[in-house]
């Protein structure tokens, strides 16, 4: 076995090889040779340096694949096995008994979440839909002219109603009347945006499936006569004039 290279010799070799790529045959020989050597375990100082160097570094998909392939079939160390113990059965995050039951702030639907979700305050709503409905309902909002026209007509006829009312976690409706009757006042601008008509149609189908009578009036129809709009509702649905809550 020859003498080890001096630091000066190593530096010269490094400079000479900069930018050069070893052939596949040479790399295979180097890999085979390296596997035969027995390297001492890293010191704590070296581990700390490696950890600091790699902190924030994102490993590429190709590199992750190589690491996975290299570790395939290797037995786990006793230390790793001990660390993995307790992650199954009752202590596993997927175990229902290890989760906490929470209810959606809007629709009241129950579900189970891990404690970390509670800490991050991401458990308040069961879906983005419920979150959006709640935010819209509680954000500062002025009634539109067509909503005021419908409201005045309902008040004139002494028909009770709830404004901007969330229904079944499906939609925030403009007016909810007794006997599951819904009135939607659609402004010409917002309800003619791309994709909005399909969204409105889907909401109407879901609400109808849940047993609601949905009436959707365009802005021009309400401006022509809010009275005729309410007459149309009353002609099709017998709305009982009684106080109610959603």
Instruction: Kindly tell me if the per-residue pLDDT of 38 is higher than 70.
Output: no
Residue with tokens 């109808």: 208
Task: Name the pLDDT band for 53 (thresholds 50, 70, 90).
Answer: confident
Domain boundaries, the chain: 94-129, 142-236
Tell me the per-residue pLDDT of 187-242, one tens digit each, with 9 for 90 and over. Answer: 877 667 777 788 888 888 999 999 999 999 988 899 999 999 999 998 887 765 44
The pLDDT assigned to 246 comes to 45
Superfamily, domain 142-236:
VSR Endonuclease (3.40.960.10)
Task: Name the pLDDT band for 84 (thresholds 50, 70, 90).
Answer: low
The pLDDT assigned to 170 comes to 85
State the Cα–Cα distance between residues 243 and 55, nearest whole angstrom: 63
Say if CB 206 and CB 125 are below 8 A apart: no
Tell me the per-residue pLDDT of 7-37, one tens digit each, with 9 for 90 and over. Answer: 888 777 777 777 777 778 887 887 777 666 6
């Amino acid at each position: 076995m020859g003498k080890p290279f001096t630091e000066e010799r190593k530096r010269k070799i490094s400079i000479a090889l900069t930018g050069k790529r070893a052939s596949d045959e040479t790399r295979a020989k180097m890999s085979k040779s390296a596997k035969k050597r027995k390297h001492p375990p890293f010191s704590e100082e070296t581990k700390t340096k490696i950890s600091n160097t790699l902190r924030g570094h994102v490993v590429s998909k190709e590199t992750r694949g190589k690491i996975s392939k290299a570790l395939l079939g290797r037995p786990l160390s006793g230390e790793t096995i001990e660390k993995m113990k307790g992650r199954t059965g009752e202590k596993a995050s997927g175990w229902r008994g290890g989760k906490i039951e929470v209810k959606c702030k809007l629709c009241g639907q129950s579900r189970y979440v891990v404690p970390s979700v509670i800490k991050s305050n991401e458990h308040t709503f069961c879906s983005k839909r419920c979150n959006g409905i709640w935010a819209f309902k509680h954000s500062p909002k002025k009634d539109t002219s067509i909503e005021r026209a419908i409201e005045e007509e309902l008040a004139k006829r002494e028909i009770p109603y709830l404004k901007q009312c969330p229904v079944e976690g499906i939609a925030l409706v403009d007016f909810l009347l007794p006997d599951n009757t819904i009135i939607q006042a659609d402004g010409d601008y917002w309800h003619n945006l791309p994709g909005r008509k399909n969204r409105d149609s889907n909401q109407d189908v879901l609400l109808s499936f849940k047993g609601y009578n949905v009436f959707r009036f365009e802005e021009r129809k309400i401006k022509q006569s809010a009275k005729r709009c309410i007459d149309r509702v009353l002609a099709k649905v017998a709305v009982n004039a009684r106080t109610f809550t959603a």
